[in-house]
Amino acid sequence: MARKAQKRYLLPEDYMADPSVHVFDGKLYIYPSHDWESAAPDDDFGSEYDMKDYHVLSLEGKDPMTSPVKDHGVALDIKDVPWARRQLWDNDVVKGRDGRYYMYFPAKDKTDIFRCGVAISDSPTGPFVAQPDPIRGSYSIDYAVLHDDDDEYYMYFGGIWGGQLQRYEDNLAKDCGTSYPADGEPAIPARVVKLGKDMLQFAEEPKPVVLLDEDGTPIKVEDNKRRFFEASWMHKHNGKYYFSYSTGDTHRICYAIGDNPYGPFTYKGVILTPVFGWTTHHSIVKYGRSWYLFHHDSVPSNGINRLRSLKVCKLSYRRDGTIVAIKGLDKPAEPSE
């Protein structure tokens, strides 16, 4: 049973979504995508999400539920990414071994294929300078990076439908183009890959993020209330790896637990029930002594899917390590949802 939780809109004066949140040197930073009134059509490819820049936000205090939020302005603009054509979707930022900050972001290249770009800054607030080319062998969307205790960096990524993940098999584009597994087969998995020492390329071939049912069988493609759709996030709690993600067309944030960064991960339940608006995308972070869930919804725009707003609420664990589900919907869903 999902519980009601106190929630807060973080930056009500602007539309932002897909928050990746980290604590660097004791301060909390938020790296969202930046929505605007695009004229692109609504479709299953996400054309309406035609974002053009990134801002960086920081918490100017110790309590995410009450402290002021500062907008540090544009950190990266698509016009300054030499290889990119359109659609700056979800990004993530990590602090590298050299003390610099690395932003990993998806954008469509000149052929309209999503690739992973890298931009670098000396400051967590930017500005970030894009590398001239995307990561070799990169594809799809929603990059999230875990800096693990072994001082290695693991990237999780992927998204079906508009995220193009269904176009790939064994990290190569399929000859037949877009295709999905048949009912009864395992769902299309997210990917995980270790980053190279320079933080600019993959150190290996990306691997599937296998999601298992409690009985050890892979979650099937038709199980759209539990299968992966997009919005990977990884955090650790009491030594366990928590892989969380969006189910897309069923509008849930779910999670699975594993013993290492590669998995497999066993499905454990729902973190966030459907929000108002089509997309749902999140991050989870410990700040001070508490855990927080950051996400977005479309309540302030009255349900306009391309205009989303950032939210935060506290996250709770049970003694067995499972997460207490949070109720997401703040007003009645539209009939189409």
In the chain, count H helices and then E strands.
0, 24
d(CA 107, CA 88): 5
Query: Which residues are CB-neighbours of 93 under 8 A, at least 6 positions away?
Result: 20, 22, 29, 31, 56, 101, 102, 103, 104, 124
| Neighbour-count burial of 202, counting CB atoms closer than 10 A to its CB (0-12 exposed, 13-18 middle, 19+ buried) | middle
| Neighbour-count burial of 252, counting CB atoms closer than 10 A to its CB (0-12 exposed, 13-18 middle, 19+ buried) | buried
d(CA 240, CA 102): 25
| Distance, C-alpha 195 to centroid of its chain | 17
Radius of gyration of the chain, Cα coordinates, nearest whole angstrom: 18
Catalytic residue among 13, 18, 60, 183: 18
CA-CA-CA-CA torsion sign (30, 18, 179, 242): positive
d(CA 46, CA 312): 24
Helix or strand (DSSP H, E) at 154: strand 153-157
Specify whether the CB–CB gap between 17 and 281 falls below 8 A. Answer: yes
d(CA 256, CA 71): 33
d(CA 158, CA 179): 15
The verdict on whether 18 is a catalytic residue reads yes
Catalytic residue among 148, 230, 249, 330: 230
Summarize the chain as % helix, strand, coil (round to 5): 5, 45, 55
Both structure tokens of 96 = 């590298």
The verdict on whether 60 is a catalytic residue reads no
Query: Catalytic site residues?
Result: 18, 230
